[in-house]
Amino acid sequence: MIPVAKPILSGEEIEEIRAVLDSGILAQGDVVADFEGRFADYVGASYAVATNSGTSALHAALASLGVGEGDEVITTPFTFIATATSIMMQRARPVFCDIDPQTYNIDPDLIAEKVTEKTTAIVVVHLYGLPCDMGPIMEIARDQGLKVVEDACQAHGAEYHGQKAGSIGDAGVFSFYPTKNMTTGEGGMITTSDLEVAERVRIFRNHGQSRRYVHETLGYNYRMTNIAAAIGLSQLKHLDEFNARRRENAGYYDKNLNVKTPFVPEGREHVYHQYTIQVEGREEFIEHLEENGVGYGIHYPIPAHKQPFLKDYGELVLPNAEEASRRVISIPVHPGLTDEERDMVVQTVNSYE
Ligand SMILES: Cc1ncc(COP(=O)(O)O)c(C=O)c1O
């Protein structure tokens, strides 16, 4: 079976991990600080703060931007659930706004009508590695006095008019889960150019501790280990290479597939965390992929506002997100894919009647 995702570990990671083991400092330390500095430089943000997952990074970013109890936070329903649950961790309410059916990202034209006097922030998601239309989103946010978090958990290295994802809003958030464009096993990062936000995040991820055993705020243990950061440092060195191969694979699919392929608006650099197509009769298509040994993923089969645990959104209808949930399917685009495997994927998809 050709897997839909697979991390590339070059072997350098082993050396980096061995150095950490030899040092005896396994938890958060200098290696994490080094990874943070390099990641901030890569993204083009002044600061980066590492955490133990993308979810904890989202939670820390929201808390540190002042999102709290009773607030409303506008976001997309067409995302991994952590985008919404991290808002709820702050006892705030996610307000779901429909997507643009062409890009699958939040539709900026629909955001303004969702703003109320309780709205304090917008969390946008650069889904599948394609940046949202950040120009109009930042304009609405600045007009209305709202904070913007970029959930860039799928968009390491993606660009919007030359600016890297994670450097445009008040904070950017990344995940380093093994399926992502780069990994640390589990891990996350917050990027920001606001020193106060960076300091609040640093305290929040370490039990709200400002000095040893002095706890200024409620905080959590969201720290990254030096072992994870060691993996991250060598992965970051190869990120541009990994993304270039993802783009090459995507370009090949764009040219050769006879189905609805991803749409990339002008000025956006897609990093193809997923290559997501649409087909008629998804269930039969899945059977066809399975028979031919082609892995796939459905991102996401249920939009957030229809999840069983969010019953109080009962009657909310967001037609574009709901339609996309019924139709989308992602095929292997990861950088470890061989040319032969890529051809097999093309043949399999194109032979589906
Ligand atoms: C869009 C999005 N947000 C948040 C997350 C959460 O990241 P993690 O799994 O590292 O907690 C993920 C990844 O799984 C994601 O894809």
274 lines ligand 1 (CB under 6 A): no
Question: Residues 216, 203: contact at Cβ < 8 Å?
Answer: yes
Which pLDDT does position 314 carry in this prediction?
81
Distance 321 CA to ligand 1 centre (A): 18
pLDDT of 215 > 90? The answer is yes
Question: Residues 53, 32: contact at Cβ < 8 Å?
Answer: no
Which pLDDT does position 353 carry in this prediction?
82
Residue to mutate, 73, 78, 80, 272, ligand 1, most ligand atoms under 8 Å from C-beta: 80
Distance 213 CA to ligand 1 centre (A): 31
183 lines ligand 1 (CB under 6 A): no
- At 28, phi and psi to the nearest 5? -60, 130
pLDDT interval class at 205 (50, 70, 90): very high
250 lines ligand 1 (CB under 6 A): no
**Single-letter amino acid code for the residue at 2:** I
Q: Are residues 229 and 251 in the same domain?
A: no
pLDDT of 339 > 90? The answer is yes
275: left (phi over 0), alpha (psi -120 to 50) or beta: beta
Q: Are residues 130 and 260 in the same domain?
A: no
pLDDT tens across 243-267, in order? 999 999 999 999 999 999 999 999 9
- The residue segments making up the domain with residue 172 are 12-233
Task: Give how many domains the chain has, as a whole number.
Answer: 2
Q: Are residues 168 and 316 in the same domain?
A: no
User: Which atom, in ligand 1's list, is nearest to the CA of 176?
Assistant: 10
Q: Alpha carbon of 5 to those of 48, 133, 331, 333: distances in Å?
A: 26, 26, 9, 8
Residue 37 CA to residue 56 CA, distance in Å, equals 19
Last residue of a domain, one of 215, 233, 251: 233
- pLDDT above 70 covers a percentage of the chain that reads 100
Let me know if residue 127 belongs to a domain.
yes
Nearest protein CA to atom 8 of ligand 1, as residue = 54
